[in-house]
A and B are shown apart, each in its own frame.
Chain A
Amino acid sequence: MAVDMSVTFTGRTLPNPVMTASGCAANGRELHRFFDVSHLGAFVTKTVMMDPRSGRGTPRMAETASGMLNSIGLQGPGIHAFVENDLPWLKSVGARVLVSIAGNTAGEFADVAKVLVDSDAFDCVVGVEVNISCPNVANRGLVFACDPLASGKVIALVREQLPRDVPMFAKLTPDVTDIVSIADAAVKSGATGLTMINTLLGMVIDTDRLRPHLGGITGGLSGPSIRPVAVRALWQVTAAMRDGRFQTVPLIGVGGVRTGRDALELIAAGATGIQVGTATFNDPTAPQRVLTELEALAESHGVARITELVGVAHDRMVIP
């Protein structure tokens, strides 16, 4: 029997849990050449800020063992061009869009959210992902998501701009001592869901030239090599919510998903949604393929609904 793949976030039902990951799918047109992006649960756009940004110089990437390091520097057209050109196109092909936003300051996050909410194509937006894993100019460039207070402030300000029924996900970095405390702060400030994880800070040295490989020196590590970190983060936050440490909200798992089996691993740790990032560079049809494989796997586990598998590993620990 076919498995019901639908998932619900704050009252919004998506036909399936699989999405692109921000910054790994551009804004849709490129991947739409390979598969119909409206078949995904949601399309997650590249993080957009208020003004156009050139991003960094090159080299912007290095391949690493089962992954890569990137230092793009949040290149983007700015929110006004985004709502003018990109969002209407996504709407025109019937995509459900999760818009990723960021700011240099907490106030900029809110300003970006306001422009989005006021835009004509806002009705195709099924949620906003707040990328707090970016540097806070007001605090010497410390990443918002490394500081519970700064995280909470951003989330609260964006929440004020969004209609109550619009799901809002805080995207967390695993580069913190205690991800549960950041998750807690984000949820208390109004996040209705959490996306985990963003890239891990890393560095590669070019051993021919004996100098840093990336123009930006350090970069974000992604790909299958970080999947165990994503599983751990989802597990810890799910366990904390189950213990009643803070209100239970749905999680979106991201980090190293390449196959349906990888997606199932994140779901079993506690994720309701799944994003496919770096694997898309290897195979442009990866998000669609992960969905097909996940459906087949869920069926082989004999469930009627994919949601039955969310966090299931927490109930199956063998304690001798």
Chain B
Amino acid sequence: MSAARPEGAAARPERAARPGSGVVQVSGEVIATRRVGAYHHLTIVAPGVAELARPGQFAALAVGGPTTGNLLRRSFSIHKVSPSGTYGGTLDLVIAAKGPGTEWLTALRAHDTVDVVAPLGRPFPLPTEPVATVLVGGGYGSAPLFWLADVLRERGCSVEMVLGAASEDRLFGVVEARRAADGVTVTTDDGSAGHKGWVSDVLPEVFRRTGAPVAYACGPMGMLQSVTRVAADHGAVAQVAVEESMACGVGVCMTCVMPVRDKAGVTKMVRSCVEGPVFRGDRIRWEAFHDGVCGVPEDTVGAPRVGGH
């Protein structure tokens, strides 16, 4: 092995992960990258992902190349996958440049490579009956919803979409939504597109009109909480895809936890990368979240005892 070659890259196989494990690790080639409003839409060749992925699952990407000082993986909802094509299977992601990792990813050009682990996490559970559904996306949170809409409509479900963002450039996929959904409502905080206000302002009407028993949502935590509340007010269940800081994305670091009740009503600090990112909204202990910090509710299994450590 030559001394100049970074070992981290040299010995990594083209494609890791074991057969039947439901996940692959691939060195993916970027084949297209384009700006969409405030976001970057990347298409990456990632053989093996499309066959395994379901809407709501995510991909964890390494950033900065083999000798990078940014070691932690960055997670992104899978926007769509296609099993084969001129390049072999591909994976599409929608990325907002925010910090060093997403800056690096959005600066990638065609033919650059990026290490991808996907698909990860639990997908959106699908209804067994052809029911009415409401899909709510906040900002880039709409990315996984178009693919979900296609799958729902294949099953005979009707799909109403509500897309919200701070401003027009932060909406993703409004045109795509008109194709994928039976009805679309748009909101922006500043009124630069659609209704001025939040998705929670328009949702009650959408639930009343459609009578949907299930809602699917992806976006900021505050929005997911209000979708859960409005859904409950209308007798519907919300399935929400959460976003918590993740270091590994594969279940080994325990950084991505949040307090969630199980079927029996018992609260545990669960890993959102393996038991999520999709949870039933009414199982999440929303009251534990405050301004970017999440506490451990006192009745959580193994919670620090009062007066303890």
Q: Measuring CB to CB, which residues of chain A are less than 8 angstroms from any residue of chain B?
A: 23-26, 30-36, 46, 51-61, 63, 65-68, 70, 72-73, 75-76, 78, 104, 135, 137, 141, 209, 215, 223-224, 258-261, 278-285, 289, 292-293, 296-297, 300
A82 to B41: give the CA distance in the assembly, Å: 43
Residue of B nearest to A31 (CB): B252
Contact in complex: A60, B296 (CB < 8 Å): no
- Contact residues in A for B71 (Cβ distance below 8 Å): 63, 66-68, 223-224, 278-279, 281-282
- Contact residues in B for A78 (Cβ distance below 8 Å): 302
* Contact partner, B22, options A24, A33, A289, Cβ 8 Å: A33
What are 5 inter-chain pairs, A to B, with CB distance below 8 A?
A: A33-B17, A35-B18, A67-B71, A70-B247, A284-B16
The answer, yes or no, to whether B174 is at the interface (CB within 8 Å) is no
A143 to B72: give the CA distance in the assembly, Å: 28
List 8 other contacts, CB 8 Å, given A209-B292, A285-B12.
Answer: A34-B21, A54-B301, A59-B292, A66-B71, A137-B309, A282-B71, A289-B7, A300-B1
- Contact residues in B for A260 (Cβ distance below 8 Å): 1, 7, 11
Contact in complex: B294, A58 (CB < 8 Å): yes
Contact in complex: A56, B296 (CB < 8 Å): yes
Using a Cβ cutoff of 8 Å, how many contacts connect chains A and B? 165
Within 8 A of A (CB), among B8-60: 8, 10-13, 16-18, 21-23, 25
Contact in complex: A57, B268 (CB < 8 Å): no
Q: Measuring CB to CB, which residues of chain B are less than 8 angstroms from any residue of chain A?
A: 1, 6-8, 10-13, 16-18, 21-23, 25, 62, 68-73, 115, 117, 244-245, 247-248, 250-258, 268-269, 274, 288, 292-296, 300-304, 308-309
Whole-angstrom distance between the Cβ of B66 and the nearest chain A Cβ: 9
Residue of B nearest to A261 (CB): B7
- Contact residues in B for A137 (Cβ distance below 8 Å): 308-309
Contact in complex: A289, B12 (CB < 8 Å): yes
The winner among A59, A63, A209, A260 for most chain B CB atoms within 10 A is A63
Once A52-B302, A282-B71, A283-B8 are accepted as A-B contacts, the answer to whether A72 and B251 lie under 8 Å apart by CB is no
A73 to B255: give the CA distance in the assembly, Å: 10
Residue of A nearest to B3 (CB): A261
* Contact partner, A55, options B244, B254, B292, Cβ 8 Å: B254
A293 to B13: give the CA distance in the assembly, Å: 12
